[in-house]
Chains A and B, each alone.
Chain A
Amino acid sequence: MWSSEWLILLVGLPFLGSLLTALLPSHSRSAANWLAGAMALACFGIAISAYSSVTDGMVVRHQVEWVPHLGLSLTLRLDGFAWMFSMLITGIGALVILYARYYMSPKDPVVRFYALLLAFMGAMQGLVVSGNIILLAVFWELTSIFSFLLIGYWHHNQAARDGARMALTITGAGGLCLLAGMVLLGQIVGSYDLDVVLQSGDLIRASDLYLPTLLLILAGALTKSAQFPFHFWLPNAMAAPTPVSAYLHSATMVKAGVFLLTRFWPVLSGTDAWFFIVGFAGLSTLLIGAYFAIFQHDLKGLLAYSTISHLGLVTTLLSLGSPLAAVAAIFHMVNHATFKASLFMAAGIIDHEAGTRDMRRLSGLFSFLPITATLAMVASAAMAGVPLLNGFLSKEMFFAETLEQHRASVLDTVTPYVATIAAAFAVTYSIRLIHTVFFGPRASDLPKVPHEPPRWMRLPIELLVLACLVVGTIPGLSIGSYLDTAVVSVLGDATPVYSLSIWHGFNLPLAMSIVALLGGIVLYMALKSYLDWCEEGPPIFRRLKGQRIFERILVAVSWRWARVAERFLGTRRLQPQLRLIVVAAILAGVWAMWGARHLAPQLTISGVDPVLAMMWLVGGGCAVAAAYQAKFHRLAALIFLGVAGLVTCITFVWLSAPDLGVTQLLVEIVTTVLILLGLRWLPKRDDQIERHGFWVRLRRGRDFFIAVIAGAGMALLAYYMMMTPLPPSVGDYYLQHAYSEGGGTNVVNVILVDFRGFDTLGEIVVLAVVALTVFALLRRFRPAEDNSELPYQQREQNEYDSIQRDREVGETLKDYLLVPSVIMRWMFAAITLLAAYLFLRGHDLPGGGFAAGVAMAIGFLLQYLAGGTRWVEERLRIRPVQWIGFGLLAATATGLGSLTVGYPFLTSYFQYTEVPFIGGVPTASALFFDLGVFSLVVGATVLMLVAIAHQSLRAPKARPDRAVAERAAVEQGES
Chain B
Amino acid sequence: MEFVIAFAIGVLGASGVWLILRPRTYQVVMGLALLSYGVNLFIFGMGRLRVNAPPVLPGEDAIDPAAFTDPLPQALVLTAIVISFATTALFLVVLIASRGLTGTDHVDGREGER
- Which A residues lie at the B interface, using CB under 8 A? 572-575, 578-579, 582, 603-605, 607-609, 612-613, 616, 619-620, 623-624, 626-627, 630-631, 634, 637-638, 641, 644-645, 647-648, 651-652, 654-660, 663-664, 667, 670-671, 674-675, 678, 681-683, 690, 693, 696, 703-704, 706-708, 710-712, 714-719, 721-723, 725-726, 729-732, 734-736, 738-739, 745-748, 751-752, 756, 759-760, 763, 766-767, 770-771, 773-774, 777-778, 780-785, 844-846, 850, 854, 937, 940-941, 944, 947-948, 951, 965-966, 969, 973
Contact = CB atoms under 8 A, between A and B. Distances in A.
Contact of B40 (A648, A734, A745, A778): A648
Contact of B5 (A664, A718, A850): A718
A767 B86 contact: yes
A662 to B, nearest CB: 9
Residue from the set A660, A706, A770, A940 with the largest chain B CB neighbour count within 10 Å: A660
18 contacts: A603-B3, A619-B8, A619-B11, A623-B11, A645-B37, A654-B51, A657-B69, A667-B85, A674-B92, A714-B38, A715-B6, A718-B45, A721-B45, A726-B47, A781-B97, A783-B99, A850-B81, A944-B89
Contacts of A710: 13-14, 17
Contacts of B47: 726, 729, 731
Interface size class of B (residues with CB under 8 A): 35 or more
Contacts of A756: 75
User: Main secondary structure on chain A at its contact with chain B?
Assistant: helix
Given A609-B4, A751-B71, A778 B93 contact: yes
B55 A966 contact: no
Nearest to A940: B86
A845 B105 CA distance: 44
Contacts of A675: 29, 88, 92
A849 to B, nearest CB: 10
Contacts of B79: 752, 759-760, 763, 850
Given A710-B13, A715-B9, A674 B81 contact: no
A731 B70 contact: yes
Contacts of A711: 10-15, 17
Interface string B60-81: 1011010011111111011101
Contact of B19 (A630, A655, A667, A716): A630
Nearest to A653: B54
A620 B44 CA distance: 18
Given A682-B26, A704-B18, A718-B9, 16 more contacts: A607-B1, A608-B1, A620-B8, A631-B24, A655-B49, A657-B77, A674-B92, A714-B9, A715-B11, A718-B42, A747-B57, A763-B79, A773-B93, A948-B96, A969-B103, A973-B109
A891 B83 CA distance: 18
Among A582, A667, A716, max chain B CB count under 10 A is at A667
A712 B22 CA distance: 19
Contacts of A667: 81-82, 85
Contacts of B20: 578, 582
A657 B85 contact: no
A634 B75 CA distance: 32
Given A678-B96, A738-B57, A748-B78, A604 B15 contact: no
Contacts of B112: 573, 575
A722 B92 CA distance: 34
Nearest to B34: A623
B2 to A, nearest CB: 4
Contacts of A948: 92-93, 96
SS of B interface (majority): helix
Contacts of B48: 722, 725-726
Query: Which are the 8 A-B pairs with shortest beta-carbon distances?
Result: A711-B14, A715-B10, A707-B18, A731-B70, A620-B11, A719-B6, A732-B65, A627-B15
A574 B107 contact: yes
A729 B102 contact: no
B100 A681 contact: yes
A767 B83 contact: yes
A774 B90 CA distance: 6
B78 A612 contact: no
A734 B8 CA distance: 29
Nearest to A970: B103
B75 A748 contact: yes
A850 B12 contact: no
Contacts of A623: 11-12, 15-16, 34, 37
A940 B79 CA distance: 14
B82 A736 contact: no
Contacts of A730: 72
A959 B45 CA distance: 50
B21 A658 contact: no
Contacts of B88: 671, 674-675
Query: Which of B29, B70, B93 has its CB near the most chain A CB atoms (within 10 A)?
Result: B93
B33 A641 contact: yes
Given A573-B112, A652-B44, A658-B56, A703 B82 contact: no
Nearest to A951: B96
B100 to A, nearest CB: 5
A657 B110 CA distance: 44
A767 B94 CA distance: 16
Residue of B14, B33, B73, B112 with highest tally of chain A CB at under 10 A? B14
A663 B51 contact: no
Contacts of B18: 627, 703-704, 707
Contact of A671 (B14, B33, B40): B33
A774 B85 contact: no
A608 B78 contact: no
A722 B45 contact: yes
A607 B11 CA distance: 20
Nearest to A848: B78
B49 to A, nearest CB: 5
Contacts of A729: 47, 70, 72
Nearest to A654: B51
A630 B29 CA distance: 9
A670 B100 contact: no
Contacts of A732: 65
A767 B82 contact: yes
B14 A659 contact: no
Nearest to B58: A745
A631 B92 contact: no
Contacts of B49: 655, 722
Contact of B100 (A663, A712, A782): A782
Contact of A575 (B42, B50, B57, B107): B107
Given A575-B23, A667-B82, A940-B86, A777 B94 contact: yes
Contact of A663 (B12, B55, B72, B82): B82
A602 to B, nearest CB: 11
A630 B2 contact: no
